[in-house]
Amino acid sequence: MNNIKNINWHGDDLDLDDEESLVLLSGNDYPWVCEQCQAIIDSIRQMYLEDQLGDTDDPEAAIMFAYDHRMMCGGHSCANPPNTEHKP
């Protein structure tokens, strides 16, 4: 049995019941990604939750799996990620 929780993570609203549980990010956590890529991320995330892809300690395992296996659209439909640099 894995320790992955089925909880969405949004900004600072991280809610863990115990420190050994992992929160996997869902497609909604990547608003700059198109709907098709979000659906792929959600499908892979569900496979991790059902222990079909093994155990992971990476909250971004689903998007990394999709990227590594070339399942993302490659930016053809996705917007650029938001600029996180602080400019005074």
Residue 26: predicted pLDDT = 94
Tell me the average pLDDT of the chain. 75
Q: What is the 3-state secondary structure (H, E, C) of the chain?
A: CCCEECCCCCCCCCCCCCCCCEECCCHHHCCCCCHHHHHHHHHHHHHHHCCCCCCCCCCCHHHHHHHHCCCCCCCCCCCCCCCCCCCC
Q: What is the pTM of this model?
A: 0.67
- The pLDDT tens digits for 15-31 are 444 445 678 999 999 98
Confidence check: pLDDT of 12 > 50 = no
